[in-house]
Amino acid sequence: MEKCGLCERELGEDSYLLGNEHYHFTCGYDTARELKEAAVNYAFKMNSFVALGISLVNREFLLNLFSNNFRENETITSEFNMGLWRTNSPSIIIMPPESPKPTKIRPVQGGVSVGNVNFPVAGTIGGVVIIDNEFYILSSGRALAPENFELRDEVSQDAYFDGGNEKDVIGFLSSTALPVKGNSNTMDCAVALVYEDVGVAGRIVRIGNIGNTAEPSLGMKVMKRGRTTDTTYGVIICTDATVSVIYPGGEHIFRDQFIVAREKSNFALSGDEGAFVMDENKNVIGIILASSSDITVVSPIDPVLERFGARLLRR
């Protein structure tokens, strides 16, 4: 019987390739994660770097390097010899939201336009969360707290960008978790306290009531409802990803993200950031960070909820 390359116990059905050796799934995943950490600092230096994470193709673990216009003279060093897989992928560039998409919905719930009333911005409400027994909406930092924001700025659904006005104000910005310089960002999110006279519901437009939270995993089928592209479906093709996102003010690096590939159409476009990503049982897996025409980068939900001391409103 063949032995696992990490724990050296016998392999049965639970056998996955990494490099030239076979591993149990969890042993292979842990080994791939170590290789990825060793390779990531090198990958940053490549001009074409978009993302580096772990993928699984036909029971083989691969370090998946997403790069933009990869050039042959950007040589791959020996650090990368183990199961490297290159995917050509456009850079992930933050763009203004797509043209106005009005969808005013009450009670306030996930899946629709929201924005800070003082800026021409629009993103998607992920969902309603509870913090210290009060209701908040959770969304993208870029929709609720764009550059030069102030805490207590009011937010509206629809966003003013999408045709909302003072009658559509639903609350005010109360806390942020925005990216900073350096390589340790894990989210770009904010929450806004919902005014008491505005109703809320623990559901997503067109998807319905949400389940619990769940962990992302390779190959998982997912869905989302967002302001720009409505309800779409995709599959998780990469986890533990370190990703470069180009903001108007410069690049930010995010770690511990996961990547969703499009199925029939784009999984997400500009204006969908903030939308919750769910598994087939409507459990919430993550919140959309950013997307290119090919891939969507998603922040796992549990660290986001933890950061705000929040839990999901589920009905």
36 touches Zn ion (CB under 5 A) = no
10 touches Zn ion (CB under 5 A) = no
27 touches Zn ion (CB under 5 A) = yes
203 touches Zn ion (CB under 5 A) = no
From 109, 136, 104, 106, select the one nearest 210 (Cα to Cα): 109
State which residue, 24 or 225, has the beta carbon closest to Zn ion.
Answer: 24
State which residue, 3 or 206, has the beta carbon closest to Zn ion.
Answer: 3
> Least CB distance from residue 9 to Zn ion, whole Å?
6
3 state SS of 123 = strand
> Least CB distance from residue 108 to Zn ion, whole Å?
48
24 touches Zn ion (CB under 5 A) = yes
Sheet with 169-177, edge to edge strand ranges = 123-124, 113-116, 154-156, 169-177, 189-194, 134-140, 127-131, 311-312
7 touches Zn ion (CB under 5 A) = yes
Distances from the Cα of 78 to the Cα of 35, 75, 269, angstroms: 11, 10, 36
34 touches Zn ion (CB under 5 A) = no
> Least CB distance from residue 24 to Zn ion, whole Å?
4
Q: How many residues bind Zn ion (CB under 5 A)?
A: 5
Distances from the Cα of 72 to the Cα of 28, 67, 86, 169, 179, angstroms: 29, 12, 12, 52, 32
- Burial class from Cβ neighbours inside 10 Å (0-12, 13-18, 19+) for residue 54 reads buried
3 touches Zn ion (CB under 5 A) = no
d(CA 47, CA 45): 6
151 touches Zn ion (CB under 5 A) = no
> Least CB distance from residue 3 to Zn ion, whole Å?
8
State which residue, 7 or 38, has the beta carbon closest to Zn ion.
Answer: 7
2 touches Zn ion (CB under 5 A) = no
> Least CB distance from residue 27 to Zn ion, whole Å?
3
Which span (24-32, 68-76, 129-137, 271-279) binds Zn ion, by CB under 5 A? 24-32
d(CA 116, CA 123): 10
d(CA 54, CA 240): 6
d(CA 236, CA 258): 7
4 touches Zn ion (CB under 5 A) = yes
State which residue, 56 or 253, has the beta carbon closest to Zn ion.
Answer: 56
Contact present, 200 and 109 (Cβ < 8 Å): yes
Contact present, 247 and 94 (Cβ < 8 Å): yes
14 touches Zn ion (CB under 5 A) = no
**Binding region for Zn ion (CB under 5 A):** 4, 6-7, 24, 27
